[in-house]
Amino acid sequence: MNIFVTGGAGYIGSATAEALLKAGHSVTVFDSLVSGHRAAVPEGAKFIKADLKNVDVLSAALKAEKFDAVMHFAASIEAGESMKHPGKFFHNNLVNSLNLIEAAVEARVMRFVLSSTAAVYQSSDAPLTEESPLGPTNVYGQTKLMVEQALEWYRKIYGLNFGVLRYFNACGALPGRGEAHQPESHLIPLILRVALGKMASIKIYGTDYDTPDGTCIRDYIHIADLVSAHQFALDALASRDRLVYNVGSGSGYSVREVIEMARAVTEHDIPAVESPRREGDPARLVASSDKIRRELGWSPAHDNLREILSSAWAWHKSHPNGYEETT
């Protein structure tokens, strides 16, 4: 197949693009490089440096050749920032996604896989299923939910087949490929920056949640398992018109537990500073991925927190400054 990948210079998008190429597909990466890295775009992929807000360029790119599917990763992702700058998230995540959906339908690219998020759900003490109550606690989650809802209408009106993958906390690394957000907001890479001596301490945002140790609990899913879920979803859209799946390990770890495991993996003392809660952070988000396991045969191959942290630590040690960009 010929796949159009937005955000293919980012963490998950570039890893998925690489896997698609290895599977024999053709890949075009469309990325503004505002937060992505040119060095992360896999060799063999065509690359278009452009922004989804540029509708003319986007439309021309999708019509330039016959594409079989769109995989949409491009987005602003930091939940805390979304509560300070909501307009940025509504523009980048909702308006730009609508631009892409419209352009895809116009070009008759009728398979669409969306990178969504567990942030569409309400916080829950029980593992979240696809039927759990929706109720984002931050603007980031709200924008992703609105894109999901738009896709449903485009399916009904135009026959657009779509797959939604609701990620839990993406983490870990692959050989030569890891997290390098600028600025970084994810817990594991921030912890590892402390271990590398690039930060003095890691902040724990909130220690008074209704959880066993008072800190937020999250489900950590290795990037390799997210990549395989995308491949399963892409294949399933050949015969299905609508897919909605949680993609997580099914295990929850608190912020304190992740820090403790990182200390063991890195053999570094990682000072932690307790800070007030961050607006928009739910107390607990843990997946039930039973549906995608049952229907598509997907299962996580890397669901051990020590293994996940070890892979991330190897990446950060070998790439202390992230990707070395070339101009």
Rounded-to-integer distance, Cα 320 and Cα 318, Å: 6
Catalytic residue among 11, 121, 140, 323: 140
Q: Are strands 217-222 and 2-6 parallel, antiparallel or unpaired?
A: unpaired
198 to each of 101, 114, 195, 201, 270, how far by Cα in Å? Answer: 40, 34, 8, 9, 11
**Helices and strands, number each (H, E), in the chain:** 11, 13
CB 246 within 8 A of CB 221: no
Structure tokens at 243: 């897919």
Rounded-to-integer distance, Cα 179 and Cα 315, Å: 8
Structure tokens at 273: 């500073």
Rounded-to-integer distance, Cα 127 and Cα 141, Å: 18
112 bridge partner residues: 70, 162
What radius of gyration do the chain's Cα atoms show?
A: 19
Burial 237-253 (b: 16+ CB within 10 A, else e): beeeeebbbbbbbbbbb
CB 283 within 8 A of CB 216: yes
Asked about 205 being catalytic, the answer comes back as no
CB 79 within 8 A of CB 138: yes
According to DSSP, residue 122 is labeled P
The whole-angstrom distance between residue 186's C-alpha and the CA centroid of its chain comes to 11
Rounded-to-integer distance, Cα 9 and Cα 6, Å: 8
Active site residues: 140
